[in-house]
Amino acid sequence: MRTSVLKWLTPAIAIAAASTAHAGPMGFKDSWMTMGDLGPNWQEVWVNYAVTPRDAFGAGLVQMRSDDGTKRRELSEVTYTRLLNRWNAKEAQANVWLVGGIGAVQGNDFKGSKVAVTPGIQFDFETTRIYFATTGQLYRAPGLNHDYASVRAGFSFYEVDYEQTQPWLIVEARRMRDLAEKAEITPMLRLIDKGYFVEGGVNNSHQLRFNFMYIF
């Protein structure tokens, strides 16, 4: 019987379930992970494969739109994820991740495509009842700067057994340079069940958002 999914993070079970507890950007060695973030102004889908317990390679597609709808971007990239450090404690865990990629970006206000690079870093911390994460990522191409930052925090409503679905309330604030006129703030209900989660909510612009993660 478990108190939360972080009970998996013990030496007996090791890293194999580390990413199922939260939105870590990679799974355990030899696993595939797919994630999606879907809303009117930001749509992102990617998949990666963990070649080691700390390294994953993949591919992604990101579609971005300015708040007023006048600018649009589409980025296709190959990605790399690296677990830089992990701290385990009783019923708690913290991680630092290196994330990023390289690809081609197209837009409605310039011709052709441009080479884009997207280096970033993520920190997350979780206990059996609370969660916090912050991410900073550069989206750079010649003449383009769409740097991105986000902060997430939340809590679980109650503890569950291993086979049960655990509900969380997550609130996220994020903003992208030169596309967002204001910070987007979204409260979301997250449901975690072993190797996947889904979450959905409505942001401060009254727009629907839906996110998912699945490890297989």
Residue 15 has pLDDT above 80, yes or no: no
Mean pLDDT of the chain: 89
Residue with tokens 């003449």: 143
The pTM assigned to this predicted structure is 0.86
DSSP SS3 for 17: helix
Q: Provide the domain count of the chain.
A: 1
pLDDT digits (tens, 9 = 90+) for 101-139: 999 999 999 999 999 999 999 999 998 899 999 999 999
Instruction: Provide the pLDDT for residue 22.
Output: 53
Domain that holds residue 100: 5-215
Instruction: Provide the pLDDT for residue 117.
Output: 98
DSSP 165: -
User: What amino acid occupies position 117?
Assistant: V
Burial class (CB in 10 A: 0-12, 13-18, 19+), 57: middle
For residue 65, CA distances in Å to 9, 73, 86, 194 come to: 38, 6, 34, 33
pLDDT digits (tens, 9 = 90+) for 174-190: 999 999 989 999 999 99
Instruction: Provide the pLDDT for residue 53.
Output: 95
Residue with tokens 């990023």: 100
Residue 105 is inside which H or E element, if any? strand 92-107
CATH of the domain at 209: 2.40.160.40
